[in-house]
Structure 1
Amino acid sequence: MQWDVLSFGETMIRLSVPVGERLEMTSSLEVRIGGAESNVAVALARLGRRAAWCSVLPQNPLGRRIAGELRWHGVDISPVHWVERGRVGIYFLDTGAAPRPTQVLYDRAGSAIATADPDSIDLSMVARARLLHLTGITPALSPACREIARRLVERAGQLGVPLCFDVNYRSLLWTPAEAAEALAPFCRAASVLICGRGDASTIWGLDGSPDQVLAGLVELFHAPVTVLTLGDEGALAQTGDGQRFQAPPVQATVVDRVGAGDAFAAGFLHGYLDDGDVARALRYGVALAALKLTLHGDLALVTLAELEAIVAGIPRAIVR
């Protein structure tokens, strides 16, 4: 295979307000890029994995900014479909400090990927990957994006390429009821299903202890590997044969929470890809998420040596 992981999704320009200022009054904005699927690709590429990212980008400075930065980190952007006209989505980060929360303002409607023609995406690229990674953000962007994601999953199924699907609910894009209906087929198709505890509650009404929420996800979708992320409490997983695994949290000084969930997904996949060791994958996931919390921006700019040093201190645990 040419790639370990192929992802598809939107990457936006991130404009961040300096700490201590407000968006409505600031005189400067920090420019970065961010998108769930490309965040995963960057993290994996920096860990030495062969990662590729597909999207739709306009031939303008912002499109080139996104492509150039991903390429610099080692992500293969050859699957990107370029269009002459269109726009890149933008999001503004009004950076908070306790007790004031960080707030996000999106300006992404009508982006090049949201208005893409599904027939413009070359599905044959799926055959070049060991694993396809998608999130629940992409189907929420537009009917066209939902159709592209559906076709990618269908082709992966035909080729026997496993799917990692991260639910990643965004309340600013759609309602819980809309998400529940649209995401169910993707969850059922996943070989690895990743869902946050809050998303499981919001979308499917799964509440209770982490064990109970995980059991609810397993009962709903029967994924070969189901992963429940618990934020500051670590993560749980269950395999198709009923084994349960748990990874404790890694303490971190929080600099920027954005992208921590994507870092978890990347770390999990890095630990899982070679031999399907779920316990090890969980440890890599929580470790990379913790390291991401210490960094500004969406991207987990972490080396393999840094990650291995943290993982070495996380005990292996199996919950039966």
Structure 2
Amino acid sequence: MSKRVVTFGEIMLRLSPPGYLRFTQANSFDVVYGGGEANVAVSLANFGIDAAFITKLPKNPIGDAAINELRRYGVDTRYIARGGSRIGIYFMEKGASVRPSKVVYDRAHSAISEAKVGDIDWKAAFEGAEWFHFTGITPALGDNVAELVEEGCKVAKEMGLTISCDLNYRKKLWSTEKAGKVMGNLMQYVNIVIANEEDAEKVFGIKAPDSDVIAGELNLEGYKYVARELYNRFNLRMVAITLRESMSASDNNWSGMLYDGKEYYFSKKYKLHIVDRVGGGDSFGAGLIYSLITGKDPQYALEFAVAASALKHTIEGDANHVSVEEVETLMKGDASGRVQR
């Protein structure tokens, strides 16, 4: 029987100008559906995991289209609640070279942002599941959604699931003070935290010494400190941190670290020329969950997560469309990009 993972959050309609056009130049938009936890579910389904995604979507053709997009990749959508008036939208302008990417949200009053405790049948959704995953984006949508996340965490804890959370701080959704308070409460249920260089600082005030995100400078000892602080403060099982060095919008170095309370694990580093970086963290999270739920050791889990995410940066759209075999090929050192015949 395959391993089952349940994720919960918002799936949005993404509208992007073709290629690298700016919003002001666009006469049309490319359509993609995506969102933090939905991206994780799609990745896991591609890895052969029984992945379910839970959200709330309007009962209209756009809601249907979002569900159909998930279904085409094998994601279980049976526990998605229907209701509300609209799906959230975000506009994404891809950056290049020295020009950063830009996101404009149009997500107020989306169906999920108006969801409330009682809308989701958590016990049915968690039947046979081993893992529950959410991100810090979801409780940021409103106090009612934060309560719904906590309801899910309580049921997951009672049913013995491992719970993971990607902190994913979004300054356009809430303040650092509010994030710290709400996420601090939810951490009592969480076993594994995924973060990047900014999340730990913005949400919990834990800063990596001698690191400059904008200058692209990483101090590995500083990240050990961040991981240790998170681990000890919230009595966690593991902390994973993605390490991004940004030379430009087009070229990044990408690696990661994992801390299990005893050892610090560091991955190999990939030099990336980016096609689409949205969902990079989600693909890392999915790779980590896949590895740990299938019994892999911490070093393998980290290497798999980083390699999976490195591949995501080469793929258009929000979700990662790669197989376990493709990830393992990159892990083994084949980054040539030669045609596979």
Structures share fold, TM-score greater than 0.5: yes
- Which residue does the alignment assign to 1:37? 37
Residue 295 of structure 1: CA displacement? 0.8
SS in 1 for 2:276: coil
5+ residue gaps, structure 1, are: 315-320
2:258 to 237, 256, 267: 237
Q: Distance in 2 between matches of 1:20 and 1:54?
A: 32
d(CA) in 2 for partners of 1:3, 1:59: 30
Q: Encode CA deviations 1:139-195: one digit per residue, 9 max, x unaligned.
A: 000112111100010111111111011111111100111111110122332111111
One-letter amino acid of the structure 2 residue matched with residue 274 of structure 1: T
Where does residue 207 of structure 1 map in the other structure?
A: 208
Letter in 1 for 2:277: R
For residues 14 and 103 of structure 2, what CA distance do their matches in structure 1 show?
10
Q: Contact between 2:227 and 2:241, CA under 8 Å: does it hold in 1?
A: yes
CA shift for structure 1 position 248: 2.1
Query: 1:233 deviation in Å?
Result: 4.6
Pairs within 5 Å for 1:128-277 = 128-205=128-205, 206-208=207-209, 209-231=222-244, 232-240=253-261, 242-275=262-295, 277=297
Tell me if the contact between 2:183 and 2:203 (Cα under 8 Å) persists in the aligned partners: no
Question: What is the CA–CA distance in structure 1 between the aligned matches of 2:286 and 2:315, rounded to whole Å?
Answer: 16
Residue of structure 1 in register with 2:250 after alignment: none
CA deviations on 1:27-73 (whole Å, 9 max, x unpaired) are: 01101111000100000101111100111111112111110010000
Partner of 1:286: 306
2 and 141 in structure 1: CA distance in 2 versus 1, 3 angstrom threshold? farther
Partners of 1:142 and 1:204 lie apart in 2 by 19
Secondary structure in 1 matching 2:104: strand
Alignment-derived partner of residue 107 in structure 2: 108
Tell me the TM-score normalised to structure 1 length.
0.93
CA contact (8 A) 1:189 1:223 kept: no
Kept in 2, the 8 Å contact 1:2–1:128? The answer is no
Q: Indicate conservation of the 8 Å contact 1:194/1:228, yes or no.
A: yes
Q: Decide whether the 8 Å contact of 1:19 with 1:97 is kept in 2.
A: no
Contact in 2 for aligned 1:47/1:304 (Cα 8 Å): yes
Partner residue in 2 for 1:317: none
1:283 & 1:185 partners in 2: Cα distance? 31
How many angstroms apart in 1 are the aligned matches of 2:3 and 2:171?
32
Q: CA RMSD in A?
A: 1.6
CA change 1:63–1:2 in 2 (3 A) is farther
Matched AA of 2:187 = C
Partner Cα separation in structure 2 for residue 215 and residue 6 of structure 1: 27
Distance (whole Å) between structure 2 residues aligned to residue 193 and residue 65 of structure 1: 31
For 2:168, the aligned partner's letter is: N
How many matched pairs?
Answer: 312
Q: Deviations over 1:282-306 (max 9, x none)?
A: 0111001100000111010112221
Structure 1 consecutive aligned stretches of length 4 or more whose deviation exceeds 4 Å: none
Instruction: Indicate the SS of the match to 2:114.
Output: coil
Structure 2 match to 1:301: 321
Secondary structure of the corresponding residue to residue 114 of structure 1 = helix
**Unaligned segments of structure 2, at least 5 residues:** 210-221, 245-252, 335-341
CA contact 2:7–2:41 (8 Å) conserved in 1? yes
Q: In the alignment, residue 237 of structure 1 is paired with which amino acid?
A: L
